[in-house]
Amino acid sequence: MRQLLPLIFCAATLPALADEPRIETAAAHNSGETWQFDVTLSHPDSGWDHYADGWRILDLDGKELGLRILAHPHEHEQPFTRSLGGVQIPKGTKQVQIQARCLIDGWGETTTIVTLP
Residues 71-95 have pLDDT tens digits of 988 888 889 999 999 999 999 999 9
- Strands 34-42 vs 106-115: parallel, antiparallel or unpaired: unpaired
| Greater model confidence, 14 or 3 | 3
Superfamily of domain 18-115: SOR catalytic domain (2.60.40.730)
For 76, counting Cβ atoms within 10 Å of its Cβ (0-12 exposed, 13-18 middle, 19+ buried), the class is exposed
CB 56 within 8 A of CB 101: yes
C-alpha 11/C-alpha 34 separation (Å) is 49
Domain boundaries, given as residue ranges, for the chain: 18-115
Position 14 pLDDT exceeds 50: no
The pLDDT mean for the chain works out to 86
pTM above 0.95, yes or no: no
Does residue 17 have a pLDDT over 80? no
d(CA 53, CA 21): 9
